[in-house]
Amino acid sequence: MAYDPNNIFAKIVRGEAPCFKVYEDDRTLAFMDIMPQAEGHTLIIPKEGAESIFDLSPEGAAALIKTTKKIAVAVKEVTKAPGVMLAQLNGTAAGQTVFHIHFHVIPRTGGIDLKLHAREQADFEKLKALAAKISAAIK
């Protein structure tokens, strides 16, 4: 499948679609998942147009993982979660639904099941407040 420059994440990068931004630099963008699997679920994307890990440049991959680590540390701190799950899906068979490479940072707490992916939209005011807290915790 060829990269679609009109996917929702490409539109977010260009400022054509809104997001609850957590972090941005010249190569990456992090924002809250509006259908989170757990409180604090954050997405990290490269600004480079790439459908999957197989299409991303080595420089883009390096920038993406560097930002993912930075966001994971902040999400863990803010949510007080004892663990953090990183997920990165490539292709429909793997469960990818937005075809712009991205990492999920999902806080995990023992005994609390994850919500189903992309099923229930979160309260936007809560997302906005959480985005501000995570953003402030980034070092």
C-alpha pair distances (Å), 94 with each of 57, 66, 81, 105, 132 = 21, 23, 26, 17, 31
Rounded to 5°, the CA angle 133-125-132 comes to 15
Which one is catalytic: 100, 102, 104, 117? 102
Q: Is 102 known to be catalytic?
A: yes
C-alpha pair distances (Å), 30 with each of 59, 99, 110, 111 = 17, 16, 25, 27
Q: Which two tokens stand for residue 53?
A: 């890990």
Helices (H) and strands (E) in the chain, counts: 3, 5
Cα–Cα distance for residue pair 41/13, rounded to 1 Å: 19
Cα–Cα distance for residue pair 73/138, rounded to 1 Å: 8
**What residues are annotated to the active site?**
102
